[in-house]
Copies of this chain bind each other. A is one copy, B any other.
Amino acid sequence: MNFNLNQSIEILERTPKVYESLLKDSIYDLEKINEGDGTWNGYNIIGHLIHGEKTDWIPRAEIILGNNESKIFEPYDRFAQEELYATQNTNELLIEFKTLRKQNIEKLLSWNLQEFDLQREGIHPDLGIVTLKQLIATWTIHDLAHLNQLSRAIVKYFSEDVGPWKKYTRLLNE
């Protein structure tokens, strides 16, 4: 186990900045940055992160920590971004993600969570019993898992351009 609340908060604070450094004012056409038909493009990824800030991580933590008897989470719509964020440009999406994340970290810090709190449980509609610690750990890696997806999509965008170097690029040989 490697989870540490302060470290998780540090990562959660950083990742909007990482996405911003990669994409802000970009001359990419983010719609073209994808891994083929039916895969997410750059807009979908940021929209999905925004939707998580609004409906997933903190609302679920509030269910775990709150006084309601039912600890069952609302299902999370993994495809909501396709309709919700279709009209915003990259910079608008990045600002919204950063703003929501800042508010959510402030809320998380205001709870002054102790080890006892981190062991409290909620009920995931598909996965069953989960702890607050597992929820925060998942939130933490979620940004990075999608950074992994986005970086892979950009690499693949240039797959034909590298010519013989394709041989050395593992992502282009999967």
Per the CB 8 Å criterion, the residue count for chain A at the interface is: 52
CB distance B147 to A161 under 8 Å? Answer: no
Cβ contacts under 8 Å, A164 to chain B: 124, 127-130, 134
Cβ contacts under 8 Å, A165 to chain B: 127, 130, 134-135, 137-138
CB A21 to nearest CB in B, in angstroms, measures: 4
Cβ contacts under 8 Å, A162 to chain B: 134, 137-138, 141
Specify the main secondary structure of chain A where it touches its partner. Answer: helix
Interface residues in A78-111 (C-beta closer than 8 Å to B): none
A-B residue pairs in contact (CB < 8 Å), sample of 14: A1-B160, A1-B161, A2-B161, A7-B28, A14-B22, A127-B165, A130-B164, A134-B161, A138-B162, A140-B158, A145-B151, A145-B169, A147-B151, A148-B171
Using a CB–CB distance below 8 Å, which chain A residues touch chain B?
1-3, 6-7, 10-11, 14-15, 17-18, 20-22, 26-28, 32, 124, 127-131, 133-135, 137-138, 140-141, 144-145, 147-148, 151-152, 154-155, 157-158, 160-165, 167-171
